[in-house]
Amino acid sequence: MPAVSFQDIEARLRNSDPQKRQGTLRALTDLFLASAPQLDEDGVEVFDTVFDVVLETPGVESLADVSVRMAPVPNAQTRLIKRLANDAEIAVAGPC
């Protein structure tokens, strides 16, 4: 099986429909939350980079859910938390 690059994954996410992006965001959040206690700084950074791509795509309406779920995580991704905390919607920014 050929290796898939980060650029391939990014392109697929950008070209997917909004419902699929929401499912991807939910799955990514679940994966991070399950892995967070064992992740070192580099592992958290990888997730931060992937969240940047998923959240950059228009149509993601699950930000409030991500915000509520990530707010209590001690090693949550810095860029993600800053982005959520600075969102114009209080439902998104409030928990962070």
**Each residue of 15-33: pLDDT tens digit?**
777 778 888 888 889 999 9
As averages over each run of 10 residues, the pLDDT of the chain (96 residues) reads 68 78 87 94 90 71 88 94 92 89
Domain-by-domain residue ranges, the chain?
A: 18-93
CA atoms within 13 A on the CB side of 91: 6
User: How many separate helices (H) and strands (E) can be counted in the chain?
Assistant: 6, 0
